[in-house]
Structure 1
Amino acid sequence: MHKYVLKRFAMLIPVLIGVTFIVFFILALTPGDPVTIILGDNATAENIAKLTEELGLDDPLLVRYGRYMLNLLKGDLGKSYSNQLSVADQILERFPNTFILAVAAILVALIIGIPVGIISAKKQYTWLDNTFMVLALVGVSMPVFWLGLVLVIVFSLNLRWLPSQGMGQGFMGILKSLVLPAVSLGAGSAAMVARMTRSSMLEVIRQDYIDTARAKGVKESTITIRHMLKNALIPIITVVGLQFGQLLGGAVLTETVFSWPGLGRFMVEAIKKKDTPSVLGSVIFLSVAFSIVNLLIDILYAYVDPRIKSQYKVQSALGRRRGE
């Protein structure tokens, strides 16, 4: 298992190099000058030249990229162009808020998606199944920012039940301000989880051991949870893991709509200012987080399905024999 984990982390290195290269050159080729954005349109040529030299923007593009990568190897994500603060410190300050939002959104997806998928599978081709699948299709197709604006209009402006922007203070304040963005962000994931749960359950629901359990008089609820859902978990875990990774990096629109002080909003503001170190640092951090989530999902497979765990043991035993 540990060799597999090390291999996965080794595969992350070329991914990060490719991601940083693409983002760095896209930002460099987009219109706009970070120095002019920082100093304003009324800045003198002398001040512009001075700040350009201080930020190292007068060097050739490849030289700047090489310098950034050398600093990255030392664990230094650089300093923000706009406020000269450490990019790493700003990311670590905001990422917990993004993580809270992603966890809340995936909980919404699980609470809605799994029961809906189970009911649809057990009531296949009924009006209930058709209704749920149509709603799931709508949920997958619905733009996150549009749903966020609708929720704000209904529950914040009209009903005045929940705050529309920012992050509240204290547990209840955070909980209230988290409801709308979590539902907005988790709706699409709930639809994906529901569709995958239904599909996985349908592959299990007509197996012989299900009929055997019913013949023995096992309760239907026990059959559903212990025999059907447990054996259908692998595809569901895959979807949930991928969705959670995407929620970490895809909360940009939701955080912007609800003014949530997370990493996505920080990245949007950095893009507007052409703050290359902040954008690159955010992308690298989210890429690593997404890869770690996928790795944890792969490890979780071994605990859910004993057959996968036995494969890891066989592979490690073969590796030891080859080494001998």
Structure 2
Amino acid sequence: MHKYVLKRFAMLIPVLIGVTFIVFFIMALTPGDPVTIILGDNATAENVAKLTEELGLNDPLIVRYVRYMGGLLKGDLGKSYSNQLSVLDQIADRFPNTLILAAAAIFVSLLIGIPVGIISAKKQYTWIDNTSMITALMGVSMPVFWLGLLLVIVFSLKLRWLPSQGMGQGLIGVLKSLILPAVSLGAGSAAMVTRMTRSSMLEVIRQDYIDTARSKGVKESAITIKHMLKNALIPIITVVGLQFGHLLGGAVLTETVFSWPGLGRFMVEAIKKKDTPSVLGAVIFLSVAFSIVNLLIDILYAYVDPRIKSQYKVQSAAGRRGE
């Protein structure tokens, strides 16, 4: 198992190199000058030239990229153009907020998706199943920003039950301010989890061991949880893992609509200011987080399905024999 983990981390290196290369040159090709954005249109030529020199923007593009990669190898993500603060420190301040939002959105998707998917599978082709699938299709198709604005209008402006922007203080304040963005972000994931749970459960329901369990007098609730759901978990875990990684990087619109102080909003503000170090730092951090989530999902497979765990053991033993 440890060799597999090391191999996955080794595969992350070329991914990060490719991501940084693409983002760095895209930022360089986008219109606008970070110095002008920082100083304003009324800045003197002397001040512009001085700040340009301080930021190292006079050097050729490839030289700036090599210099950035040299700092990255030392764990230095550079300093923000706009405020000269450490990019790593700013990311460290904001990423926990994005993690909280993504975790809450996944919780919403699981809370809705798994029960609805199970009921839909057990009531196949009934009005319950049809209604669930239509609702799931609407959830997948609905834009996140539109749903977010709709929730703000209804629950903040009309009913005045929940705050519409920012992150509250204290546990109660955070939970109240988290509800709307979590529901907005988790709706699409809930639809995906519902569809996958239904599909996976339908495959398990048709197996002979389900009929055997029923013939032995096992309670239907126990059959559903211990036999059906447990054996249907692998595809569900895959979808949940991919969705969680997607939510970490895809919370940009939600964080912008709800003014949530997370990494997505930080990246949007950095793009507006053409703050290349901040954008690169956020993209690298999210790429690493997404890869780690996928690795954890792969490892989790081994604990859910003993057959996968045995494959790891066989591969490990074969490797030792080869040595």
TM-score range normalised by the length of the shorter chain: over 0.9
Q: How does 1:115-126 map to 2 (within 5 A)?
A: 115-126=115-126
Distance apart, 1:60 and its partner CA? 0.4
Q: Deviations over 1:65-115 (max 9, x none)?
A: 000000000000000000000000000000000000000000000000000
Q: What residue identity is the alignment partner of 1:243?
A: Q
Whole-angstrom CA distance in 1 between matches of 2:293 and 2:108: 18
Q: Secondary structure at the match of 1:82?
A: coil
Q: Who is 1:45 aligned against?
A: 45
Whole-angstrom CA distance in 1 between matches of 2:294 and 2:208: 33
Q: Who is 2:210 aligned against?
A: 210
Whole-angstrom CA distance in 2 between matches of 1:277 and 1:96: 20
Q: Who is 1:12 aligned against?
A: 12
Q: Who is 2:256 aligned against?
A: 256
Whole-angstrom CA distance in 2 between matches of 1:307 and 1:132: 33
Whole-angstrom CA distance in 1 between matches of 2:20 and 2:322: 38
Q: How does 1:158-237 map to 2 (within 5 A)?
A: 158-237=158-237
Distance apart, 1:313 and its partner CA? 0.3
Q: What residue identity is the alignment partner of 2:84?
A: Q
TM-score (norm 2): 1.00
Distance apart, 1:302 and its partner CA? 0.2
Whole-angstrom CA distance in 1 between matches of 2:94 and 2:206: 47
Q: Who is 2:105 aligned against?
A: 105
Q: Who is 1:94 aligned against?
A: 94
Whole-angstrom CA distance in 1 between matches of 2:16 and 2:189: 26
Q: What residue identity is the alignment partner of 1:87?
A: V
Q: Who is 2:313 aligned against?
A: 313
Whole-angstrom CA distance in 1 between matches of 2:22 and 2:120: 43
Whole-angstrom CA distance in 1 between matches of 2:99 and 2:195: 25
Whole-angstrom CA distance in 1 between matches of 2:263 and 2:210: 46
Distance apart, 1:316 and its partner CA? 0.4
Q: What residue identity is the alignment partner of 1:227?
A: H
Distance apart, 1:206 and its partner CA? 1.3
Distance apart, 1:24 and its partner CA? 0.4
Determine whether 1:143 maps to 2:143: yes
Distance apart, 1:260 and its partner CA? 0.2
Matched residues, percent identical?
Answer: 89
Distance apart, 1:303 and its partner CA? 0.2
Whole-angstrom CA distance in 2 between matches of 1:3 and 1:322: 14
Q: What residue identity is the alignment partner of 2:162?
A: L
Whole-angstrom CA distance in 1 between matches of 2:276 and 2:118: 46
Q: Who is 1:275 aligned against?
A: 275
Distance apart, 1:184 and its partner CA? 0.1
Whole-angstrom CA distance in 2 between matches of 1:67 and 1:114: 48
Q: Who is 1:288 aligned against?
A: 288
Q: Who is 1:74 aligned against?
A: 74
Q: Secondary structure at the match of 1:4?
A: helix
Q: Secondary structure at the match of 2:223?
A: helix
Whole-angstrom CA distance in 1 between matches of 2:321 and 2:294: 29
Q: Who is 1:304 aligned against?
A: 304
Q: What residue identity is the alignment partner of 2:264?
A: G
Q: What residue identity is the alignment partner of 1:314?
A: V
Whole-angstrom CA distance in 2 between matches of 1:136 and 1:112: 10
TM-score (norm 1): 0.99
Distance apart, 1:62 and its partner CA? 0.4
Q: Who is 1:153 aligned against?
A: 153
Q: What residue identity is the alignment partner of 2:227?
A: H
Q: Secondary structure at the match of 1:65?
A: helix
